[in-house]
Every structure is written in structure tokens, then in C-alpha cells.
Structure 1
């Protein structure tokens, strides 16, 4: 049976990584909202909410499938996101779908190319809507690959415990959180993202969670 609670002895370290990986940006109007595909349907929910608030006139949902999402979203992450947003009242005419990206770099590159193909080249600002702990990584990749745009990061505003309950699997959330934290420096080392400061407290919390066995999303 999957646990929906963070183990008490790990809670403080998980909270450190949870807070670090969010950019805490102030939500403001931008030219395009980009919903980054993942296992989390809350990305589409919050993208639709921000559209309803008038934060952007156009949405791009981007994402194919990963091994962790193909069962939940068999037609692809972006396709299911689009369908969910339409169910929430977003007009189909306000949504573009990019169905091929399999990583965050592709999300950015393929979205940019899609907008250009639709004659939407003069983009000055974007809102990246993602899982809460994907914010910092997606920000760093976007700043590297699309440096001329202003970037606002956003996620469904849930506290950690409530977010884990919404996903239904604490181990999955913690493993992904640890993996996304590692990618802050590995993506930079590979030239895929801008370099970002990683405080000692974050590195220490990351190491303790790795030592506790949360390693399924690490890259070698």
C-alpha cells in the first residue's frame, strides 16, 4: 500500500528541498502560459485557473510520455492536459498542443518552435506551470535555451502534505523531488541550464535523503 505521508524523520529534509525548488515568483500577466507535461494533472488545472484569471491569452501544453506517465496518460501528457483544461472551461482556440517533448529541454525548444510555426514569434514573457518541485529546474533550462524571454514560474499552490495526498504516493514525490534537485547542478554541468546557487543546507538535505534510499530518479 502506498503511503501518503512524509516519514517524520525525513520531513525537515523534504521541506528544505520542497522550498528550494520553488521559485516563489509573483504571478503576473505574460504572453503565453506553458504547461509542462508530467504525471501531475494539477499542472493543467492550475494552467486553466491562471488563464481564467487573465494571466495569459494563450496556452501551450507540452509533453509526450515517460515510463511513469504512459499508463495514466496513454494519449500523451499534453493531449490529456488539453482535454482537462477544456473540461474546466478553457476554449479550444486558446490551446496549442506540443505532443513530442520527452524532457524539460524539449518542452522549451519544441514549444518555441511551435509558436514560431503559428506565427507567434514576438514572445517577450512566459509563465511556466509545472509540478512544484520542477520550478527551479525548468526556470534554469528556459533561461539557458530561451534567454530573451522573461520567465515566471507557477504551480498549483498546495502545501507539501496536501500535494503528496493529491498525488497519492509519498515515495514517488520524494524520489522525484530528490532527482529534480540533483538536476539543478547536473543540468548546469552539461550546459543544459544556467548555473544556480545551491545552499549547503540544500546539499545536506539532499544527501541525507539519498542515503535514506530515495534514489530511483537520480542520474548517473
Structure 2
């Protein structure tokens, strides 16, 4: 069972992680690979709405996705977007990235190799990864305008769609830790973390939602 306090604390982190950017057309949409195939669906919807003329799906596999997406996150995202009517000509696949920093850097490299000019990026991620993805992109690609986007769902509805509330809260706690940790390590820009968010994070850690916390060893974002 997940306590009422844990649900409330998770919602505090959820609200903080959302950047609440106003969507606007960008040069390219970059869908960040993960276990959540909904990212591909959101990216496809944004393409159909005219928010970007080109999509890059980026991601290899992780311990969470190696079984459900054996050909790689980016490839499975591409398949989903094709199912949703995005033309193959509008999709590029970056299949090597294994963390957010590589998602950004390898996508940037791919676009540069193809001489595709990029003034702005529509960065599509899981809802609880918006803030760290944004901070990573601003650090590694400072000359482009970054607009964050994700599945437009309330927290409880999102956990129901994933089918594993504990996994989502574990991921939320891990994402929150990395907002502070990775800025200290120079992987992302620094962001202010309100006290109520820090307190909610601490309570969730004490409650045992720690499976996705980063180790003490330095690692890329």
C-alpha cells in the first residue's frame, strides 16, 4: 500500500518536475527514450499539430526497457509514431544514447551531420523528467531555445496508465535527486529547488522509494 502522505509528496514532486512551457512550433521535436511509449504518442501528436516538421527519437535500452523494447527505445518509438500516421521521412532515429546527456548530445550530432539547422527544440519526455531534460539541454545545447513537453495527464491518471504506481514514484524520486546532483556535477544548469519539494523528496526516501536513486559514483546525466 502507498500511504496518503506518500501520494501527496509524489504529487509535489510531479508538479515541480513539470516545466509548464507554452507549446509553440520548433525546428525539431526530440523524443527522449524511456519505458513510456506514451512519449512517442505525444511526439506524434505534436508533429500532427504542426509543432515540428521533423522528429528525432533517441535511446538504446536500459534495465527497464531491455525486455519490453528489445530493438531499442528509439526504434520502438519510431514504430509507434508510424502507427499514428507520422511519415517515415519525418523521423530520424538515434539508437545509441543510454542517458539524458547522450540523448541530447547524440541528437545534436545527428542533426549537425545532416546539416539540419536548429534554432529551437521541442523536447518531449516523461512528465517527471521535464525539468532535468530541460536543464540538460540548456547545458549541452545553450544556443537553441528549448520547449519542454510531455503527456498532459494528472499524476494519478498517469500512474494508472503506466500500471505500476510504485515504479512511477521511485522514478519521480530518482528524477528529483538528479536535478540537484547533476547540477553539482556540472551535467545540467543549476535550478532553485523550493523547500517543500526538498521535504517531500526526503520523506519519500525515508518511506522506501529509493530504487532509482543514483549511486555515489559520478555518472552522466
TM-score, normalised with respect to structure 2:
0.96
SS at match of 1:126: strand
Alpha-carbon distance in structure 2 between the residues aligned to 1:7 and 1:61 = 36
3-state DSSP of counterpart to 1:215: coil
Partner of 1:77: 73
Q: What are the Cα deviations for residues 7-26 of structure 1, in whole angstroms up to 9, with x where unaligned?
A: 32312111100000010001
2:62 is aligned with 1:30? no
State how far apart, in whole Å, the 2-side matches of 1:19 and 1:55 are: 24
2:36 aligns with 40
2:107 paired residue among 85, 88, 111: 111
Aligned to 2:219: none
Unaligned ranges ≥5, structure 1 = none
Give me the whole-angstrom Cα distance separating, in 2, the residues matched to 1:9 and 1:130.
26
**Residue 211 of structure 1, aligned match among 192, 202, 206:** 206
* Residue 65 (structure 1) aligned with residue 53 (structure 2): no
Report 1:1-220 matches (<5 A).
Answer: 7-120=3-116, 122-219=117-214, 220=216
Distance 2:187 2:5 in 1: 34
RMSD, aligned CA: 0.9
Q: Which runs of 5+ in 2 are unaligned?
A: 217-221
Shift of 1:106: 0.1
**Length, aligned pairs only:** 215
| Separation (CA, whole Å) in 1 of partners of 2:84 and 2:170 | 30
Q: Structure 1 CA distance, aligned partners of 2:199 and 2:24?
A: 34
TM-score, structure 1 as length reference:
0.96
Is the partner of 1:68 in helix, strand or coil?
coil
Counterparts of 1:51 and 1:11, CA distance in 2: 33
- Partners of 1:200 and 1:9 lie apart in 2 by 17
